[in-house]
Amino acid sequence: MPVSNSPDMPWLQKAWQTLQQRLDEGTLPHALLVIAEAGVGKRSWADHAAHMLVCSQSPAPCGQCRQCRLVAGGSHPDIRTYGPENRSRVVRVSQIRELIGFAMTSPQVSRRKVAIIDRADQLNPSAANALLKTLEEPPEDLVLILLQESGRPILPTIRSRCQVMTLPPPVGDQALGWLLEAAKGLDQVDEALCRTALHLAGGAPGLALEYLQTDLVAGRDRALDHFRKYLKAQMTVNQAARPFRELGLEQALRLLEGWAADLARVGAGGMAYDTSAADVLGYLAGRNPAWRAHELLAAIRESRAALTNNVNADLEIQRLLIGWQGLMPRRSGPKMAGQGAAH
Ligand SMILES: [Zn+2]
């Protein structure tokens, strides 16, 4: 039984069992590409998997052996993680060179080495190319775990060299149950707030926890308030962009994406997931053809792709907000039915 730092994410249990099984059968691939939605627990899965892979007992992790004690102490020398550092949005080639160096040396205390790339969809092009060489001829004692967020592209040449594993999102009350437990130590967090956070996070518990920790729920309220004022032309786009900027481009994109998806939903006769924005989205949906929502979604995808190229976050947010403004009826346009009939 997993004892030390056993992650309590019941929806990931099966994927860990699969890994354990491959480990027991000796059919473990050298490179795993693990795909999941944001906030489902990719990193927890990978950390736990790395722990399983270095433990010297079976079923792993035993929680007793030297390897397990090193992992519990946070200093296992045969596990390395590479991800965007120092406010960078990309995994750099220098990091991949470091990974290659790590891959070439013998394990220090375990049977194998584990390198996690969190995340493979943020590798910059030269980093991706450098990684390819290692993927082509991986050392026997190395397991590479690449994490990819669903919908974020990675090079097909990388993907084709990995065994792909998709982590399922939580079902039923699993997410809320986990979030209530994980948010226990946080100030002024109750079940209602947890539900709101989950809702904003599209049901992804890890993301919802991040929202609670970073006060994103309040940040979202500020952003929505500015968004409304901007649409009503009570604010400049620069002013409106401020609370979005404070959220960070990644979160701002998620928020705008959620609203655009809601707009499409409402336009098709459905309900907005983000109930507090439902009025403004309902208003816009009633005045625009359905393709406008898809146009907004496409613009967000473009901004997301640009994220890996160190774009100017402020300009991206303003560009997207201007796109939304384009959905408002023209101020001088036919507000009353009579005017429209004039020609
Ligand atoms: Zn162990």
For residue 44, the domain's CATH number is: 3.40.50.300
38 & 146 share domain: yes
Q: Is residue 343 a part of any domain in this protein?
A: no
Residues 162 and 182 in one domain: no
Let me know whether 208 and 235 are in one domain.
Answer: no
Whether 229 is covered by a domain: the verdict is: yes
Give the Å distance between the CA of 137 and the centre of ligand 1. Answer: 28
- Whole-number Å distance, alpha carbon 281 to ligand 1 midpoint, is 52
Residues 162 and 260 in one domain: no
How many angstroms separate the Cα of 60 from the Cα of each of 3, 49, 99, 261, 290?
10, 9, 25, 42, 51
Q: Are 61 and 27 contained in the same domain?
A: yes
Q: Which domain holds residue 202?
A: 172-213
- pLDDT tens per residue, the chain (343 residues)? 333 333 478 999 999 899 999 988 989 899 999 999 888 999 999 999 999 999 999 788 999 999 999 999 998 999 999 998 877 788 999 999 999 999 999 999 999 999 999 999 999 999 999 999 889 989 999 999 999 999 888 999 999 999 999 999 998 889 999 999 999 888 888 888 888 888 778 788 988 898 888 877 888 889 999 999 999 999 999 999 999 999 888 889 988 998 999 999 999 999 887 888 999 999 999 999 999 999 999 999 999 888 767 678 899 999 999 999 999 997 654 444 444 343 4
Residue 337 within any structural domain of the chain? no
For residue 56, report the distance from its CA to the centre of ligand 1, in Å.
5
Which of 303, 317, 314, 308 minimizes the C-alpha distance to 89? 308
Q: How far is the CA of 3 from the centre of ligand 1 (A)?
A: 10
**Same domain, residue pair 117 and 153:** yes
Let me know: does 195 contact 177? Beta carbons within 8 Å: no
Residue 331 covered by a domain: no
- The verdict on residue 54 lying in a domain is yes
C-alpha 55 – ligand 1 centre gap (Å): 4
Q: How far apart are CA 95 and CA 93, in angstroms?
A: 5
Distances (CA, A) of 35 to 131, 135, 164: 18, 18, 7
At 337, the amino acid letter reads A
User: Are residues 18 and 132 located together in one domain of the fold?
Assistant: yes
* Cis amide bond preceding 170, omega within 30: no
Number of structural domains (the chain) is: 3
The residues pairing with 142 across neighbouring beta strands, listed in sequence order, are: 113
Asked if 82 and 91 count as a contact pair (C-beta separation under 8 A), the reply is yes
Q: Tell whether 197 is covered by a domain.
A: yes
Give the Cα-Cα-Cα angle 42, 121, 252 (nearest 5 degrees).
80
Using alpha carbons only, give the angle 79, 84, 85 rounded to the nearest 5 degrees.
Answer: 90
How many whole angstroms from 64 Cα to the centroid of ligand 1? 5
Are both 272 and 284 inside the same structural domain? yes
Residue ending a domain, among 148, 166, 184, is: 166
Element holding 147 (H helix, E strand): strand 142-149
Q: Are residues 119 and 149 in the same domain?
A: yes
| 65 and 209 housed in the same domain | no
Q: How far does residue 48's CA lie from ligand 1's centre (Å)?
A: 12
Give the chain's largest Cα–Cα span.
Answer: 84
Q: Which helix or strand (DSSP H or E) is residue 69 part of?
A: helix 66-72
The tokens for 168 are 């399922």
Find the 73 Cα to ligand 1 centroid distance in Å: 13
Q: How many CB atoms lie within 10 A of CB 81?
A: 16
- State the distance from the centre of ligand 1 to the C-alpha of 107, rounded, in angstroms: 16
pLDDT of res. 4: 32
Q: Tell me the CA–centroid distance for residue 62 and ligand 1, in Å.
A: 4
C-alpha of residue 5 to centroid of ligand 1, in Å: 12
- CATH of residue 298's domain is 1.20.272
The answer to whether position 338 is within a domain reads no
Number of H helices, E strands in the chain: 16, 5
The residues with which 32 forms a beta bridge, in sequence order, are 145, 163
Give the pLDDT of residue 332. Answer: 57
What residues contact residue 298 under an 8 Å CB cut-off, 6+ apart?
none
Q: Are 165 and 18 in contact (CB under 8 A)?
A: yes
The pLDDT score that the predictor gives to residue 6 is 36
CA distance 16 to 214: 29
Verify that 208 and 241 share a domain, yes or no. no
| Domain closes at, from 166, 200, 232 | 166
Give yes or no: residues 180 and 265 share one domain.
no
Residue 341 lies in a domain: no
